[in-house]
Structure 1
Amino acid sequence: MYDLTGFQRDLLYVVAGLDEPHGLAIKEELEDYYESEIHHGRLYPNLDTLVDKGLIDKGQRDQRTNYYTVTRRGRREIEARREWESKYVDLAE
């Protein structure tokens, strides 16, 4: 996960948190978080990068709609990142 941009990491987290989201659902979640518009030209190439890296899979719901799921490798990467973060950020204090 060290080689992902912050945006790509956020995409991975959103895909992991939703049940087979399609691109527009992911876009809406990120727009809520960033409080700004996410353009298709930014969203889909970054989703494709995550697919190429083996962190998410892309399926086809119909001829126009793809959906995304996190792979086992993607889940392992998220867990490793959370463990690393917990060494430095302890919110229980």
Structure 2
Amino acid sequence: MRSRTTDENPRCKNAGGTSCERCVERSADGKHADGRSLCRSCARHSQATCSSPLTDYSAIQRDILWILADEGASKGVSISDSLGSYYRSEVTASRVYSNLNKLVGKDIVTKRSSGRDNEYELTTAGRHALNRRRDWLESRVDGQ
């Protein structure tokens, strides 16, 4: 077992490694819901993923996230069909998979092998980012 530095959260499954999704449970004061301070990994992930309501994502990337939120875990073909239906034109597989890979790289979508195909699913951080985006959009519509 690797030793942890004092500023890492011992309850964080990924402390010192890849980003953990627990940062989305933090309160405004920068703590996990259980009251513990964020570890370095959580803090980095919090700043990178949770700080904006998807402002640096393309329209198709945001649309993919909305589809995953609505349909749950989905294969790329299903996502492509949903996008094509919404855009009323065919969306190429390379465009869909290229954007899915970017979302996986940003840790807001997970990819797992499902037989011959891959299945994609929104992470907790992705769901949190969509909720922030929805709140922002609703505040614009409501004129706040």
Same fold (TM over 0.5): yes
Which residue number corresponds to residue 129 of structure 2? 77
2:119 is paired with a residue whose SS is strand
Give the distance between the partners of 2:136 and 2:94, measured in 1 at CA: 31
Larger radius of gyration: 2
TM-score (norm 1): 0.92
* Structure 2 alignment gaps of length 5 or more: 1-53
Residues 1-93 of structure 1: pairs in structure 2 closer than 5 A: 1-62=54-115, 64-90=116-142
- How far off its partner does 1:9 sit? 0.3
TM-score, structure 2 normalization: 0.60
| Paired-residue identity, % | 36
Which secondary structure does the structure 2 equivalent of 1:31 belong to? helix
How many residues align? The count is 89
Shift of 1:19: 2.7
Give distance in 1, aligned partners of 2:134 and 2:123: 17
Higher RCO by CA contacts (8 Å cutoff, separation 6 or greater): 1
Per-residue CA deviations over 1:74-93 (Å, capped at 9, x if unaligned) read: 00000000111111113xxx
Letter of the 1:51 counterpart: V
